[in-house]
Structure 1
Amino acid sequence: MNKKNLSILSYITIIGWIVAFVKSKDLNPKSDLVTYHLKQGLGIFLVSFAVNIILSIIVMTVTSLYFLNYIGYAIFILWIFGIINAVNQQKKPIPIIGKMFENQFGFIN
């Protein structure tokens, strides 16, 4: 797989992320683009997972706050931005939350 495909795959579910992570170890020389998108992909997955758990608890306890479920659509849009950046082979952070993950996840390097 080339670096563009691995970058895109890093956003497609956690299984796609794992495949991209394992395959990125085979790249010689190491690709900064793939590493960057692996960090962004893992970050958006973790944020989405945490937000969904928190929102589920909130909406189950206070049903009148059901409109908070629309936050999931916002995360979906951010995920699409990440895929677009990977397709264009750009190392741009995901809007709003991407900067948090640029220097995190040291095991990916």
Structure 2
Amino acid sequence: MENQTVKEGKTTAIISYITWIGTLIAFIMNNSKKNTFASFHIRQMIGLSILSLINGFVISPFLGVWASGAVGIALFVLWIIGFIGAIQGEEKKIPLLGDLFQDWFKGI
């Protein structure tokens, strides 16, 4: 990854990890001038946000609070990994699911 590309997209990438609102803002910011580094982290966070919704609306009601809590902790750890990658200027994929998120949301 080019150093200039990382510099230009770092702020947008970091913003994308600040809740779903930050992801939406980062998506809009990245729409006008596409940055590959920012797009990478936006795709990662969109995947995490969708998993979080599934956790809240599917896992919690059907499998209970304990299962939902365990999944929530796992999602939080994955969020930390992605957030640290954005801060350090690295395209660090989220373990297990990062490749899938990049493939599923490649249009972003």
Q: TM-score, normalised by structure 1?
A: 0.81
Which amino acid is 1:76 matched to?
F
Shift of residue 106, structure 1, vs aligned partner? 4.0
Higher RCO (C-alpha 8 Å, min separation 6)? 1
1:104 match: 104
Q: CA RMSD in A?
A: 1.9
Q: TM-score, normalised by structure 2?
A: 0.82
Shift of 1:18: 1.0
Deviations 1:37-91 (A, max 9, x none): 111010110011112222221245xxxxx43122211111111111011111111
> Partner residue of 2:45?
41
Unmatched runs of 5 consecutive residues or more in structure 2? 1-7
How many equivalent pairs are there? 101
Label 1:96 to 1:106 Cα distance change in 2 as closer, same or farther (>3 A): closer
Give the structure 1 partner of residue 93 of structure 2: 93
Secondary structure, aligned partner of 1:18: helix
Q: Which has the higher helix share?
A: 2
Can you give the 5+ residue segments of structure 1 that lack an aligned partner in the other structure? 61-65
- Quick one: which of 47, 54, 61 aligns to 2:58? 54
